Amino acid sequence: MKILVTGGAGFIGLHLVERLLKEWCQVVVVDKLYKGDAKLLCNTYNCNCYIGDICNKDFLENVIGLETPDVIVHLAAAAGVRDSFEFPNRYVRTNIEGTLNVLECMRKYNINKIVFASSSSVYGDYPAEKFSEDACDIKPISPYACSKLCGEQLVYTYSKAYDINAVCLRFFTVYGPRQRKDLAIRKFTESIVNGIPIQVYGDGTSSRDYTYIDDVIEGIITAIRYNNSHYEIFNIGSGSPISLNEMISTIAEEVGKKAVGHKVGMQKGDVYRTAADLSKAKKLLGYSPKVSFKKGIKQFVEWLNF
Which residues are tagged catalytic? Answer: 144
**Helices and strands (H and E) in the chain: how many:** 12, 13
CA distances from 205 to 32, 129, 188, 246, 266 (A): 37, 15, 16, 9, 11
Tell the burial category of 16 from Cβ atoms under 10 Å away from its Cβ (0-12, 13-18, 19+): buried
DSSP label at 289?
-
Read out DSSP for 73-137?
EE------HHHHHH-HHHHIIIIIIHHHHHHHHHHHHT--EEEEEEEGGGGBS--SSSB-TT-S-
Taking the C-alpha atoms of residue 159 and residue 180, their distance in angstroms, rounded to an integer, is 32
Contact in structure between 265 and 150 (CB atoms under 8 Å): no
Contact in structure between 200 and 248 (CB atoms under 8 Å): yes
Strand partners, 234: 169
Taking the C-alpha atoms of residue 180 and residue 187, their distance in angstroms, rounded to an integer, is 9
- Both ends of the chain: CA-CA distance in Å? 39
Taking the C-alpha atoms of residue 87 and residue 291, their distance in angstroms, rounded to an integer, is 34
Instruction: Give which of 90, 93, 2 is closest to 48, Cα–Cα.
Output: 2
CA dihedral 51, 54, 56, 57 (to 10 degrees): 120
Contact in structure between 110 and 85 (CB atoms under 8 Å): no
